[in-house]
Amino acid sequence: MERFSVNGKAKPSSKLALTEFDAHSKALRAKIGERLDHLTALWQENEKRLLALQQPRQVYHPYKDDNLQYDPDRDDGMYTVYCIGIAKYAGKWRLCLGTYHQREMWEYGENISWCPVTECSMEERMEAAPYVKNLEQKIVETGEKIIPKLDEAIRKLEDALAGV
């Protein structure tokens, strides 16, 4: 039944407005869904590419922190650091996003909470996207640094076998 206003004109149906809103909402959801699927596929391709650079091991690049302290000389480490990295998650090497508390890192060593990037929120993935190249550089740098350490470990094990 149509409703009339005080001046006798028909009021627009709220059902029609809701239908238009629903159609717009569904169209918007579809557009976001398409882009999110594309974003996920790109993250998966980057994961494969980064893992193929060299033997997987934990490597990460911090890209943000929530340090609200303005005096760098009085850094107490009471803040969270956000990073992108290669980490072992559920028995597999994955491209992940992680967080750690700076003070705990200083006091106890690495204690990063990891989550595969494809399982992170859309906002987290968008925020971390600019830092993939930084991680790639870090992977190469750590690869260059690990070779002498590997050579030293090999030498020590060979010496142990030779009875030296």
User: How many domains, the chain?
Assistant: 1
Structural domain for 77, as ranges? 14-162
Question: Is it the case that residue 75 has pLDDT exceeding 70?
Answer: no
Q: Is position 38 within any domain? A: yes
Q: What is the pLDDT of residue 111?
A: 82
Tell me: the pLDDT tens digits for 50-73? Answer: 999 988 789 999 999 887 665 566
Q: What is the pLDDT of residue 141?
A: 92
Tell me: the pLDDT tens digits for 77-107? Answer: 678 899 999 999 999 999 999 999 887 777 7
Q: Is position 1 within any domain? A: no
DSSP the chain: ---B-TTSPBPPPHHHHHHHHHHHHHHHHHHHHHHHHHHHHHHHHHHHHHHTTSS---EEEEEEE------GGG----SEEEEEEEEEETTEEEEEEEEEEHHHHHHHS---EEEEGGGS-HHHHHHHGGGHHHHHHHHHHHHHHHHHHHHHHHHHHHHHHHT-
Q: Is position 3 within any domain? A: no
Q: Is position 44 within any domain? A: yes
